[in-house]
Amino acid sequence: MVEDLVSFDEWQKLDLRVGKIVKVEDIEGADKLYKFTIDLGKEIGQRIICAGIKEYYKKEELKDRKIVVFVNLSPRKLRGIESQGMILAASTEDHEEVILITPEKEIEVGSKIS
């Protein structure tokens, strides 16, 4: 059941882009978080994003992977690091499974999702 409907105009405000994970780092004292450097193409450049997916993915599985990023989300400090967006993932209700949203085919980094 859909609880909060979003108008088409509100949906258009979201800037979702294809990004490429350039670097994955552990964050001291954080059991669930990784610090990512994400390439979002020529227009945006690179961003730092923190994501709580450490228990679902090893660092080696993530480097060079293309993912979907919510680019125009307000920055938020996590463990003293300014996270400049959000990596999109799907999860079961109990968070037993979490998977990153990735493009189906090869596409240029920075491509808009609509």
Region 42-69: what's the mean pLDDT? 96
Using left for φ > 0, alpha for ψ between -120 and 50, and beta otherwise, residue 98 falls in beta
Q: Which two tokens stand for residue 106?
A: 């090869």
The pTM (predicted TM-score) of the whole model is 0.91
List of residues 6+ apart from 89 with CB closer than 8 A? 51, 53, 98, 99, 100, 101
φ and ψ at residue 32, rounded to 5 degrees: -110, -15
- Tens digits of residue pLDDT in 8-22: 999 999 999 999 999
Q: Which CATH number fits domain 14-113: 3.40.1410.10, 1.10.287.610, 3.90.1150.10, 2.40.50.140?
A: 2.40.50.140
Per-domain boundaries in the chain: 14-113
